Amino acid sequence: MAQNNDPGRKRQYWLGLGLGFIPLIAFLIFYGLYLRSPSSLSSPFITWIIITFILYGIELFVVIGFLVSSQVRFTGYGLLTAFLVTPIITAVACNALPHIIHA
Partner 1 sequence: MYPWLSLGPLVISTYSLCFLCAFLVGGLLTSHEIKRQHRATEAILRVALGALAGGLLGAKLSMLIFLGPATFIKDLPSLWYSGQAWTGGFFGGYLGVLLVKRFNHINYSTGDLFAPALPLAQAIGRLGNLLGGDPFGLPSNLPWAIMQHGVRRQPSALYELVLDLALFVIIWRLRDKLPRPGDLFKLYIVGYCSLRFLVDFTRADPHVLLGLTLVQVLYTFALAGFGYQLFVSFRQSWQAKMVLDRQTADVL
Per CB under 8 A, residues contacting partner 1 are 1-5, 73, 77, 80-81, 84-85, 87-92, 94-96, 99-100, 103
In whole angstroms, the minimum distance from the beta carbon of 38 to partner 1 comes to 20
How many other C-beta atoms lie within 10 A of the C-beta of residue 63?
Answer: 22
Smallest distance from partner 1 to CB 73, Å: 8
How near is the Cβ of 10 to partner 1 at its closest, in Å?
A: 10
* 3 Rama sector, left if φ>0, alpha if ψ -120 to 50, beta otherwise: beta
Nearer to partner 1, 44 or 87 (CB): 87
Q: Are 80 and 59 in contact (CB under 8 A)?
A: no
Alpha carbons 94 and 68: distance in angstroms, whole number: 33
